[in-house]
Structure 1
Amino acid sequence: MTALSAASLRRIRLALLVLVGFALGGLAAVALVPQLRARLLPASGTGAVGQALIGGPFTLTDHTGRRVSDADFRGKFMLVLFGFTYCPDVCPSSLQVMAAALDRLGPKAERIVPILITVDPERDTPRQLAAYVASFHPRLIGLTGSPAEVEAAQKAYRVYVRKVPDPKSTAGYNLDHSAFVYLMGPDGTYRTHFGPATSLDAMADRLARIVQ
């Protein structure tokens, strides 16, 4: 058996270094990807503050015609749903669960401001929102604004919205949109979110644990 040449040894060492580099890179990816995912897509029910890239400043018009910003709600929890008054199903059901959960909380509910931010500023005027929110909860606030203002709020909360043709609608369109309910803390940071299938019991119980 002949001894390996110096050139062969160098090639073997180079191959080993490459393999070690790939292995270390794979370990780094395994460690990093869950952290990135946790920041961008937190699991429903997490209560950690500041881990999710959800929320941010907005300036909109409420259902009474008053200009408001996110800063106006500091010191209170915000329970935020993005939806619209012509929404046929998920928005009304989510708002009903929100309202019932607040009623179940009793005095704790005073620390929470329920908010509906429209994704349909073309149709959802302050007057339209006023009639709509009153049918769900006396403290529910409806927010609208210019298309640019509403879009900025949607981007801050990572809300998906897509206009789709709908011949049954008088406006000729409907809106597909994500339907998460976000709980923001008194400092304006994300606390948790609720999916559209969240039950009244689940929402009320989690709110009771977080809102102290």
Structure 2
Amino acid sequence: MFRNNALVSALQGGQRYSRRPLSSIPIGSEEYTSQTMKRKPVEYLSWKSFVLFLAVGTGLTFLFRSEKEKLQLRKEAEANRGIGKPLIGGPFNLITENGEPFTEKNLLGKFSIIYFGFTHCPDICPDELDKLGIMLNELEKKGVQVQPIFITCDPARDTPEVLKEYLSEFHPSIVGLTGDYDEVKKCCRNYRVYFSTPRDLKPGQDYLVDHSIFFYLMDPEGEFIDVLGRNYDADGAVQKIVKDVRAYEPREVREQKKEGLFGFLYK
């Protein structure tokens, strides 16, 4: 019993001894040295932990903001494909200015920018094609490659030969497409392009074609991204296209991102 009481007293004494403030212990004593050695690692580790906490917190904050910005761009890209947006694009079967077949499958694997017009257009189409040439040159400087396509709304006069001669005055990479009237009309309908020609035309009579004036930006999956009207000058159009192109991710990647670490931000 005596030994047990002595042990308890010793332990209690040890607890009291370890809790004494340093200010009450003589400097240089064995007890002071012992307490200092015990407390310094705790203080040092606490300081290191605080710095580590700040570093990790700062890193996570930066990562969170970076991912949030990327996800916001993806949201904008998805919004163009989402409910409420017109379904633009679809199957077509036309021929190029060189007489080669060209379908919607030729849009796959690259970004495309499509314009509908006609070669007898006196002013608007030439202006828009000049603007397209400037856009293509600026996009190339920025490392952005797009496939430019001109689709006629006037297949009766715009044969492959006529298209080839007409487009030679503009950017050399522009692909001209034409075909029979039904195929052109189907393509225009799929792209929500309005066009009309005067009725009761006489053979050889000159006429104008009324049509929509837009550039349609399509992604490498052949899906619609955005439409650019005449309100965009060349610089504004380039900025918009670059933003859309850099925000693009393939469908499988988009699906994976939705299920990723920060996927809850995507919803």
**What range describes the TM-score normalised by the shorter chain of this pair?**
0.7 to 0.9
Equivalent in the alignment of 2:256:
none
Q: Which amino acid aligns with 2:165?
A: A
Which has the higher relative contact order, 1 or 2, with Cα contacts under 8 A spaced 6 or more apart? 1
Q: Which residue number in structure 1 is paired with residue 245 of structure 2?
A: 211
Q: Offset at 1:111?
A: 2.8
**1:50 aligned residue (56, 72, 81):** 81
* Residue 164 (structure 1) shift: 2.7
- TM-score computed with the length of structure 1 as normaliser: 0.72
**TM superposition shift of 1:197:** 3.2
Comparing both structures, which one devotes a greater share of its residues to helix? 2
Quickly say closer, same or farther: Cα 1:174–1:109, change in 2 above 3 A: farther
- Relative to total residues, which structure has the larger strand share, 1 or 2? 1
SS of corresponding position for 1:86: coil
Within the alignment, does 1:182 sit opposite 2:213 as a pair?
A: no
Structure 2 segments unaligned to the other structure (5+ residues): 1-75, 247-267
Matched, 1:173 2:207: yes
SS at match of 2:113: strand
Give the distance between the partners of 2:109 and 2:241, measured in 1 at CA.
Answer: 16
**What secondary structure does 1:211 align onto?**
helix
- Cα 1:172–1:138 change in 2 (3 A) is closer
1:163 equivalenced with 2:194 (yes/no): no
- What is the alpha-carbon distance in structure 2 between the residues aligned to residue 109 and residue 132 of structure 1? 28
Q: Secondary structure at the match of 2:209?
A: strand
Partner of residue 153, structure 1: 187
Match of 1:136 in 2: 170
Who is 1:77 aligned against?
Answer: 111
In the alignment, the residues of structure 1 paired with residue 145 and residue 174 of structure 2 have an alpha-carbon distance, to the nearest angstrom, of 13
Following TM superposition, by how much is the alpha carbon of 1:196 offset from its aligned partner in structure 2, in angstroms?
Answer: 2.1
What corresponds to 2:150 in structure 1? 116
* Contact 1:108–1:211 under 8 Å retained in 2: no
Whole-angstrom distance in 1 between the partners of 2:245 and 2:145: 8
Measured against aligned partners, the alpha-carbon deviations of 1:147-176 in whole angstroms (never above 9, x if no partner) come to 011000000001111113799xx5332111
For residues 87 and 174 of structure 1, the distance between their equivalents in structure 2, rounded to whole angstroms, comes to: 7
2:97 and 2:164 in contact (8 A); partners too: yes
Aligned residue type for 1:140: I
- 1:98 pairs with 132, 147, 151, which one? 132
Q: Which amino acid aligns with 2:191?
A: Y
Provide the residue aligned with 1:11 in structure 2: none
SS in 2 for 1:208: helix
Gapped runs of 5+ residues in structure 1? Answer: 1-45
Letter in 2 for 1:74: L
Cα displacement string for residues 105-125 of structure 1 (whole angstroms, at most 9, x for unaligned residues): 125566310000000000000
Distance 1:165 1:198, change over 3 A: farther
Greater C-alpha Rg: 2
Separation in structure 1 between the aligned mates of residue 109 and residue 80 of structure 2, nearest angstrom = 15
RMSD between aligned alpha carbons? 2.1
Q: Structure 2-normalised TM-score?
A: 0.58
Contact preservation (8 Å) 2:144, 2:242: no
Question: Any conservation in 2 of the 1:63–1:126 contact (CA below 8 Å)?
Answer: yes
Instruction: Give every structure 1 segment of 4 or more consecutive aligned residues whose post-TM-superposition deviation is greater than 4 Å.
Output: 107-110
- Change over 3 Å in CA distance of 1:78–1:109 after alignment to 2: farther
